[in-house]
Structure 1
Amino acid sequence: MLAHAIAAERIKLLTTRSAYWCSGIVVLLGLGLAILLAWATTSDSGSSSNTSESDFLVGTTAFGVTVLMIMAVLAVTSEFRFGTIRTSFQAIPQRSNVMFAKAAVYGGLSALLTFVLTVISLPLAKSISGNDLALLGSDALRLYWGVPLYTFLSVLIGLGLGALIRQTAGAIVILLVWSLVLEGVLSVIPKVGDAVGPFLPFLNGSHFIDGGDLGIDWHWNGYGSLIYYLVFAVVMFGAGVLVTDRRDT
């Protein structure tokens, strides 16, 4: 039954224009910002010494992943908006399988896309900038597998949020305000930032990808932040699955 659900979600994905638009935007952001930053930090400009491998992936990991999370939200909320979710539940009575299929299809596509962008962006940035990037160093190797994993977990958050809210506009606003504004503001408020900063999920994801402290006194290293982000993503997605199982369509 799960295999049939995955096949159905794959067909939905390939016949939905928003998926193509979102994927195209991610490619443009990922490669475009990598090229722009590489050009701005050429080895003869004197500004390359503070540029790390993760900096060249900001178009993918910061902006691109946000777009993919929005795509994940749309994958759920659009079905509730147009009523097609009822057909999906009639064909697949075990509703959790519908959500797991969305996670497999949308998460798999997003992880593959960001993996390809990572593999292309780092060598491209190195060739353009002339910076001494270690393409097979420990930091680069961590990004090759870490970026797709981080992306997959982010998509789970988007799917979970979409299932909990069910309204496209509301879910997207919450996602953008939470990930791009709220956590950044809370982390810089005196005393509040020191207390809650290490426990903010999206900042933990950024901590793992960036490798820096982001101005926060962390209680764990980057891999601890990855585990924290993984647990948060699973809880969010699990809550979405639970609500989908119990709430009327």
Structure 2
Amino acid sequence: MTAVRFRDLLASEWLRMWSLRSTPWVYLVTALAAIGFNAGEAYDTYHYWTEKNAGSSAEQYIRDGIPVQHAFTDNASLVFALAVTAIGVVSIAGEYSTGRLRTTFTAVPARRSVMLAKAAVLAGVTAVFGTVVALVSFHLTQAILGLRDVGVPIGHPGALRTVLASALLAPVCALVGMGIGTLLRHAGTSMAGGVLVLLIAPFFFSEDHHWSAVLHHALPMSAWRRLVEIPFTAEIPYPWTATGAWIVYVAWALGAVALSVTVVHRRDQ
């Protein structure tokens, strides 16, 4: 039997992803939702500028980092993260439910290579997708805020980091979704697990005690919030560094891939 090259697996996964008619629509709806939330908050600031900002100067507004915060808001990040996590879940749980994964492993016994190809394609596509959404959101929100002379360029301190952190949130969450989907195999249960990790878990750990603060900071959404808080002014007993937040991103992405590869290698399908 001729060994299957890894690039052939990548091509196969690429075709598999885009063979689903729902794929472009899912990405489009997710993008519109995230960009809409960000633009909506920027428009509220523009529209109600007099009432909200009476007595405050544009310089102070910019100095406080508020225009950069509007580039990717909390509401947008939650919707974005959950939607991309669902994409990651469905990328593997859907194949479990239809039995396609068993067929794939029969044709290509190198299970770890198959899962690595799936992870590579998923990470690549969602990274590009996240970059597009983050850049469009940034430029659109700053254009709206610019009507009140409070928009900032992407070279503004912290702006590029916010765009990058928001863009990379997509592949991190997608890979986490894939890891949970591989472990649990069921789309609904896996999505519930994603909600637990992204939305609920941060509420379990306060930042008042060292052990609890470490666990809180080690979560994906906590890392994103640390990276986009510019300037960093949180007065908490155990603050986290931006470098630590980037490490959290990498750890979750690599950990999710390792989980997926290990699970499929050790158990029957």
TM-score by length of 2: 0.82
Shift of 1:66: 1.8
5 Å-filtered alignment, 1:114-193, equals 114-130=130-146, 131-183=150-202, 185-188=203-206, 191=209, 193=212
Q: Give the alignment partner of residue 100 of structure 1, picking from 106, 111, 116.
A: 116
5 Å-filtered alignment, 1:1-249, equals 1-42=5-46, 44-45=49-50, 46-47=52-53, 49=61, 51-58=66-73, 60-130=76-146, 131-183=150-202, 185-188=203-206, 191=209, 193-194=212-213, 196-211=215-230, 212=232, 216-218=236-238, 220-249=240-269
- Pick which of 168-177 and 220-229 moved more: 220-229
Across the two proteins, how many residue pairs are aligned to each other? Answer: 248
Shift of 1:214: 6.3
Q: CA 1:60/1:9 → structure 2, altered by over 3 Å: closer, same or farther?
A: farther
Shift of 1:215: 6.7
Distance 1:5 1:147 in 2: 29
3-state SS in 2 of match to 1:136: coil
Deviations 1:19-71 (A, max 9, x none): 22320221111221122011111183344825241432136533212201111
Shift of 1:104: 1.9
Larger radius of gyration: 2
Distance 2:166 2:219 in 1: 19
Shift of 1:201: 4.0
Q: CA 1:227/1:67 → structure 2, altered by over 3 Å: closer, same or farther?
A: same
Distance 1:159 1:190 in 2: 32
- Pick which of 226-235 and 38-47 moved more: 38-47
Q: CA 1:127/1:204 → structure 2, altered by over 3 Å: closer, same or farther?
A: closer
Task: Check conservation: 2:46, 2:145, Cα contact below 8 A.
Answer: yes
Distance 2:214 2:160 in 1: 32
Deviations 1:55-94 (A, max 9, x none): 3213653321220111111000010111000121122221
Q: CA 1:71/1:217 → structure 2, altered by over 3 Å: closer, same or farther?
A: farther
Task: Check conservation: 1:22, 1:68, Cα contact below 8 A.
Answer: no
Deviations 1:151-177 (A, max 9, x none): 222222111111111111111011112
Task: Check conservation: 2:130, 2:170, Cα contact below 8 A.
Answer: yes
Task: Check conservation: 1:25, 1:64, Cα contact below 8 A.
Answer: no
Task: Check conservation: 1:201, 1:229, Cα contact below 8 A.
Answer: yes
Task: Check conservation: 1:204, 1:229, Cα contact below 8 A.
Answer: yes
3-state SS in 1 of match to 2:205: helix
Give 1:68's aligned amino acid.
V
Q: CA 1:224/1:149 → structure 2, altered by over 3 Å: closer, same or farther?
A: same
Distance 2:208 2:163 in 1: 35
Task: Check conservation: 1:208, 1:225, Cα contact below 8 A.
Answer: yes
Q: CA 1:197/1:213 → structure 2, altered by over 3 Å: closer, same or farther?
A: farther
Taking only the aligned residue pairs, the percentage that are identical comes to 23
Shift of 1:216: 4.9
Task: Check conservation: 1:26, 1:60, Cα contact below 8 A.
Answer: no
Give 2:228's aligned amino acid.
I
Distance 1:238 1:107 in 2: 14
Give 1:186's aligned amino acid.
F
Deviations 1:196-220 (A, max 9, x none): 4233343123322345466754453
Can you give the 5+ residue segments of structure 1 that lack an aligned partner in the other structure?
A: none
Q: What is the Cα-based RMSD across aligned positions, in Å?
A: 2.5
Task: Check conservation: 2:207, 2:237, Cα contact below 8 A.
Answer: no
